[in-house]
Amino acid sequence: MDIDKIIDERLTSLLKFPKTVTDATAQIYERDVKCNSFLKDIRMDIRGFTKGLKKMNADQKRNFIKEMNKKYDEAEKLSREKIVIAQNLYDVIDNEFQELGNTLQDIVPQNPKKNDDVDDDEPDTSDGSRRKSKKRKSADEPVHVPKLLTVDMPVDPNEPKYCTCDGVASGKMVCCDHSECEVEWYHYTCMGLDENYEIPDKVRWYCETCRPLFKNAPFQWNYERNEPPPNMPRQPPPKKRKSGKGNK
């Protein structure tokens, strides 16, 4: 068995990881942006539909509902594609770690001999007790392989920037309800929002730049207390599922 060749093959495979991960995350991000754009359009269209509902005839209403269903279907399709890409990436990483574990089992002895080395230079104690022995680990002991690997993802300099921090899209983000907002998306953490809380569709949230334009807008977020407007209860965070083999 050519150990050097096996190690080279595993290293070559591992070096492909950064590109594999970045390609997958880029595909997920692309679909996420499109999906959020559809959802934002739907919210804006529904508001316009509500305002002009009385002036619409039956055909116009049917056409509007048909158009909304198309956008919802597109958003759902993009969401499913994100799940498939993420699952495929997980399978690739899981398979690679299994291969790495198998390789280590092939090249590392399974039954190493443990040597107990006695320090002959250590003098006897005055009461004639036994010499102290020092145990050291054999160089042939099996290597511990961590189940998880933390990878620092490289940031693409061409990736779009968002939020007041001028950073890339990451974590949970909130969209400004002003359709002409230049920044549009903001990180929950930068805005001091609770990541366990979902802002209801009825509530309007504007960034600091756009707020002066919508001072009298109804159902507006309470920015001072960072909570929903009065008479609208805060939604509880989603219940955590019990851990198990089926939950990944």
Strand 173-175 relative to strand 185-187: parallel, antiparallel, unpaired? antiparallel
Q: Judge contact between 60 and 194, C-beta under 8 A.
A: no
User: Is residue 118 helix, strand or coil?
Assistant: strand
State yes or no: 175 annotated in a binding site: no
Beta-bridge partners for 186: 174
How deeply is 43 buried, as exposed, middle or buried, from its count of CB atoms within 10 A (0-12, 13-18, 19+)? middle
**What are the structure tokens assigned to 96, written together?**
């690679």
Q: Judge contact between 73 and 35, C-beta under 8 A.
A: no
User: Is residue 177 helix, strand or coil?
Assistant: coil
State yes or no: 176 annotated in a binding site: yes
Q: What angle do CA 31, 36, 40 make, to 5 degrees?
A: 150
Q: How many whole angstroms separate alpha carbon 123 and alpha carbon 235?
A: 72
State yes or no: 165 annotated in a binding site: yes
**What are the structure tokens assigned to 248, written together?**
């990944």
Q: How many whole angstroms separate alpha carbon 238 and alpha carbon 172?
A: 15
Which residues are annotated as part of the binding site?
A: 163, 165, 176, 181, 187, 190, 207, 210
Which residues are annotated as part of the binding site for Zn(2+)?
A: 163, 165, 176, 181, 187, 190, 207, 210
